[in-house]
């Protein structure tokens, strides 16, 4: 059968092909700009931190002696405080955020769910300094009197809860971080849950599953990668938080302890609190920039770990 000219696919106009090429180049250029900026930030900050790295060597991240005025730059306690407060925040925030997302997307009526989702999203827009001030004037007095002191008194045989100090400690900083990252994790999980096909929900219910069984068997397994991504995003936010943690953790470097009610500090809080002091001391300033490089690498490793976990999880589905 002969192919007529009317049955042939129409050739795309040259202008359309040119527009596609231009769009592809523009999109690739924008993506390249992000990579170039990240690489430039890493190279420039590492170059500025070279004097401190050269003096401290590997001890910059393995030693616990942060005394900048004496020329000692051991940031291990700062790294420890950063990771400890972030882990506390994740332990407290992730279950609450996932349950909130499940309620809003799967249980609550649509109008109530939309209203609650909007309120939760507003919490993510609150500036960190507001969280910090609220923590200092409201949260610390309340926790000190009604939670931390009784907990330390009654569970002092457990090292985590012994040696209460002042209320401005790792536990309080981790709690305020949990409040800050809960809206972010919940919002992302809510959108991920909504992407699960309705047919799978209806199939589970038609087979006699309860609502909880439907969520456990149909919604959560299909959303595993998205939930992990939300958790890692919240972890990255907690690692880099500055002002609220600086107000509530105590600001004491050189402390590595397993007691949650002891004071300490983090990388970001140390940079914020000590940068003005370092203005006239080049080596001190270089060390603070080096802390920024370490924080950058930590967040990069967190993102790489998230990608690896998501890829392995997708392979099992």
**Which domains occur in the chain, in start order?**
48-316 (1.10.3720.10)
pLDDT digits over 128-179, tens only? 899 999 999 999 999 988 889 888 888 888 888 888 878 889 999 999 999 9
Residue 108's contacts (CB-CB under 8 Å, 6 or more residues apart) are 116
- Beta strands 66-67 and 72-73: pairing type? antiparallel
Given a cut of 70, whether residue 255 has pLDDT beyond it is yes
DSSP secondary structure string for all residues of 214-235: HIIIIIHHHTHHHHHHHHHHHH
pLDDT digits over 291-305, tens only? 999 999 999 888 888
Neighbours of 4 (CB within 10 A): 7
Query: In percent, how much of the chain has pLDDT > 90?
Result: 37
> Which range among 10-14, 40-44, 84-88, 199-203 shows the weakest confidence by mean pLDDT?
10-14
Handedness of CA 104, 209, 91, 302 (dihedral sign): negative
Model pLDDT, residue 252: 83
Given a cut of 90, whether residue 80 has pLDDT beyond it is yes
Mean model confidence pLDDT for the chain: 87
DSSP secondary structure string for all residues of 26-87: HHHHHHHHHHHHHHHHHHHHHHHTHHHHHHHTTHHHH---EEGGGTEE--HHHHHHHHHHHH
Cβ atoms 58, 43 nearer than 8 A: no
Q: Provide the β-strand partners of residue 250.
A: 264
Model pLDDT, residue 297: 92
**Euclidean distance between the first and final Cα of the chain, in Å?**
47
DSSP secondary structure code for residue 146 in this structure: I
Q: How far apart are CA 277 and CA 287, in angstroms?
A: 12
pLDDT digits over 275-285, tens only? 888 878 889 99
User: What predicted TM-score, i.e. pTM, was given to this entire model?
Assistant: 0.87
Q: How far apart are CA 278 and CA 48, in angstroms?
A: 14
Model pLDDT, residue 1: 47
Given a cut of 70, whether residue 3 has pLDDT beyond it is no
């Amino acid at each position: 059968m002969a192919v007529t000219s009317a049955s042939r696919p129409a050739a795309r106009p040259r202008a359309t092909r040119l527009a596609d090429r231009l769009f592809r180049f523009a999109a690739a250029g924008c993506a390249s700009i992000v990579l170039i900026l990240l690489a430039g930030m890493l190279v420039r900050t590492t170059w500025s931190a070279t004097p401190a790295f050269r003096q401290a060597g590997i001890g910059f991240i393995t030693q616990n002696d942060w005394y900048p005025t004496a020329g000692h730059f051991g940031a291990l306690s700062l790294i420890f405080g950063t990771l400890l407060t972030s882990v506390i925040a994740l332990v407290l925030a992730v279950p609450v955020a996932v349950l909130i997302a499940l309620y809003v997307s799967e249980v609550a009526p649509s109008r109530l769910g939309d209203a609650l989702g909007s309120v939760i999203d507003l919490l993510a827009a609150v500036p960190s300094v507001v969280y910090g001030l609220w923590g200092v004037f409201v949260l610390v007095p309340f926790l000190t009197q009604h939670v931390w002191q009784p907990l330390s008194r009654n569970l002092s045989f457990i090292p985590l809860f012994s040696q209460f100090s002042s209320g401005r400690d790792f536990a309080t900083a981790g709690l305020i971080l949990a409040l800050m990252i809960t809206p972010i994790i919940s919002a992302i999980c809510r959108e991920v849950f909504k992407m699960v096909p309705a047919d799978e929900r209806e199939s589970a219910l038609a087979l006699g599953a309860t609502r909880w069984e439907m969520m456990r068997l149909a919604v959560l397994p299909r959303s595993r990668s998205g939930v992990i991504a939300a958790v890692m995003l919240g972890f990255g936010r907690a690692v880099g938080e500055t002002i609220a943690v600086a107000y509530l953790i105590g600001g004491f470097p050189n402390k590595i302890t397993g007691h949650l009610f002891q004071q300490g500090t983090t990388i970001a809080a140390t940079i914020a609190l000590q940068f003005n002091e370092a203005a006239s001391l080049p080596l001190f300033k270089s060390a603070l920039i080096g802390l920024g490089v370490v924080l950058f690498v930590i967040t990069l490793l967190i993102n790489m770990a998230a990608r690896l976990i998501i890829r392995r999880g997708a392979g099992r589905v």
